[in-house]
A and B are shown apart, each in its own frame.
Chain A
Amino acid sequence: MTALLQHVVDAIGLASLYALLALPVALIYGIMGLVNFAHGELIMIGAYGLFIFAALSLPLAIFLMIAVVIVAALLMERSAFRPVRGSTPETLLVTSFAVSFLLQNLALMVFGSRPKSIETPGFLNKAVSVGGIQIEGVTILSVVAATVFIGGLVIFMRRTNFGMAMRAAAEDFTMARLVGIRANAVISGTFAISGAMAGVAAFILVVQGGSAFATMGLAPVIIAFVATMMGGLGSFSGALLGAALLGAGTVAFEVVLPTQLRSSREAFVYGGVLVLLLIRPQGLIPSRKERV
C-alpha cells in the first residue's frame, strides 16, 4: 500500500512539472498556431539567470530571473514571431527552430559548454517522510507551482476580459480581431504568461539538475510538445491530461519494467505515446478550432 502511494506521489510530482512545461506551449499554439520549440530556451535563459543572480537572496534571484524570462519571451515574439505571424505552420515551426538554435549557440558563446553549477537550498532536495512516504521538497514545489498556475490561469481565463479575449482568439483569431480585440496585446500577453511559466519550470529543473547548460531546454520542450500532442494540440485541458498521462506513464513503466530495462523506460513511454497517436491522431481532447 505504502509502495503504491509512493508511486502515486511520484507520478503527481512529475505530472505537475510536465503540466508547467506543456501549458504554455499549448496556450501559444492555441492562439497563433505556433509550436514554440524555443520555449525550451526560455527555460535555459531562466537557469542562467539563476546562475547570474546567485549572489542575491533566493527570493530576489527568482523574482529577477522570472522577470528576465518574461522580457525574453516578449522580445522573442516581437522580433522573431511577429514578422511571420499568419504564415504557414511550417514557416512558424522552422522559425521557432531557428530561434531555438540561435539562443543555444549564443549561450554556448557566452557561458561556454561546461554546465554552470547552481546552489539551491538543500531542503528542496531533501525528502520528508509522511506516513512512510518520501516526499521531496522539489516535488511539493512542483505541485504547488502547477496548482497555482493552473488555478490562476483558469480564474484569469474565466473571470477577466483579457482571459475572455484569449479564449476567443484561440477559437477564431480573425473573428476576435473583428470584434476589436487587439492581436498584438493578446499574443504578447500569452507570451508573457509562457515566460513566467518557463521561469518557474527553470527553477524546478535547476533544483533537480543543479546546473545550467546551453542545451538544457531540449528535453523539457520535447516533453511539453508530446504532452500537448497527446491531449490535442492547442487545448488547455488536453495539455493537462497529456501531462498527467505522461507523468503517470513514466512512473508506471519505471515500476513495472524489469531492472535491466528500467534505464530505457523513456523508450516505452514514447512507444505508448506513438500507439496513442496512431489510435487517436487528433489527440484526446482536440481543440474546437477552425483555422482560417
Chain B
Amino acid sequence: MLRVDSLEVRYGRLVAVHGISLEVGDGECVGLIGPNGAGKTTTLSAIAGVLSPASGTIEIGGESVGGEPPEAIVRRGVSLVPEGRRIFTTLTVEENLRIGSSTRKDGEVDADIDRMMERFPVLRRYAATHAGKLSGGEQQQLAIARALMSRPRLLLLDEPSLGLAPLMVDLVFELVAQLREEGITMLLVEQNGRRTVDLADRTYVLAGGRIAMVATGVKDLEEVERAYFGGDAAVGTEA
C-alpha cells in the first residue's frame, strides 16, 4: 500500500528526516513512535503531500507520488487526520463531514454521513453546531470521521490521543483498534509508545530523524528505551 524509501525532508537547510524507509502493507496497522522532534509529523506531512521530499521516494499502491500536492494524494486514497485535529471550526459538524467527501462524486455521501453519525453519536447531537464549540475529544472524533468520509485506502493518524483526557485517550485507541478490525490500513503516529506497540502489527521507532528500530512487542520497546532514551520515561509511558 505504502512504501517510503530513503525519504529525506528538509525545512530550508535543516534536515528533519534523514533518509528513512518504511512500509505499510494492505490491511496492516503500522505504528510510528518517537520523542518530540524525531520527525514523525514531518514524515506524515511528506506522505500526505504537504511537504515535498528533498530526496527519496514515496510510493502509494505501487506508484511514485513524491512532490504531488495534498489534493492529489487524497485522491489516491490517502487520508490524513492531522496533528491538532484541525477541524474547520467555522463550519458545522455536518459540513465538516461533508467536506471530507470533497473527492467523491458518488451518490452515497449522505448515507455515509449518516453512518458516521451512527458511529459517533456525539456528531449527530451537534450536527448543526459550529465544530469549534466541541470539546477536544469530540473534535478528535470529528477529525477521524472527516478523514473516513473520503473512503480512504490508507488512513494516516497523527497523534490522535495528544492533549486528550485519559478517558478520551482510551476511546481513541479503542476506535483505532476497531478500524483495524474493519481492515482499514493505517499508519499511526503516536507519542504513546506502549499502547501503540500493543495495538500495531509493527512499530517503527524514530529518533533524530532516523529509524532506530522496528518493534513488534513491548519487550522490543523496553530495549529501545534503554538504548536510546536512557530509561522508560521518554517513550510515552504516560497514560
Binding site for B on A (CB under 8 A): 161, 164-165, 167-168, 170-172, 174-183, 288
Contacts and interface: CB of A to CB of B under 8 A. Distances in A.
Interface in B43-67: 48, 50
A155 B55 CA distance: 46
Contact of B69 (A164, A167, A177): A177
A270 B87 CA distance: 38
Contact of A179 (B50, B90, B132, B150): B150
Interface of B: 48, 50, 69-71, 74-75, 79-80, 82, 86, 88-91, 95, 98-100, 102-103, 132, 146, 150
A223 to B, nearest CB: 27
A179 B89 contact: no
Contact of A180 (B75, B88, B90, B95): B75
A177 B71 contact: yes
Given A167-B91, A175-B82, A177-B71, 5 more contacts: A171-B90, A178-B71, A178-B74, A180-B74, A183-B71
Contacts, number: 61
B88 A171 contact: yes
Given A174-B50, A174-B70, A288-B132, A179 B91 contact: no
Nearest to B73: A178
A164 B107 CA distance: 18
A182 B71 contact: yes
A164 B98 contact: yes
Contacts of B89: 171, 288
B103 A180 contact: yes
A177 B98 contact: no
A125 to B, nearest CB: 42
Nearest to A172: B86
Nearest to A182: B71
Contacts of A168: 88, 91, 99
16 contacts: A164-B95, A164-B99, A167-B90, A168-B91, A171-B89, A172-B88, A174-B50, A176-B99, A177-B70, A178-B50, A179-B74, A179-B79, A179-B100, A179-B150, A180-B74, A181-B99
A181 B71 CA distance: 6
Contacts of A179: 74, 79, 99-100, 102-103, 146, 150
Interface centre among A167, A170, A175, A178 (most CB of B within 10 A): A178
A181 B102 contact: yes
Contacts of B82: 175, 178
A179 B82 CA distance: 11
B102 A180 contact: yes
A176 B100 CA distance: 9
A165 B96 CA distance: 10
A288 B95 contact: no
Give the 4 A-B CB pairs with smallest separation, nearest first. Answer: A180-B103, A180-B102, A177-B70, A180-B74
A167 B75 CA distance: 21
Contacts of A171: 88-91
Contacts of B132: 288
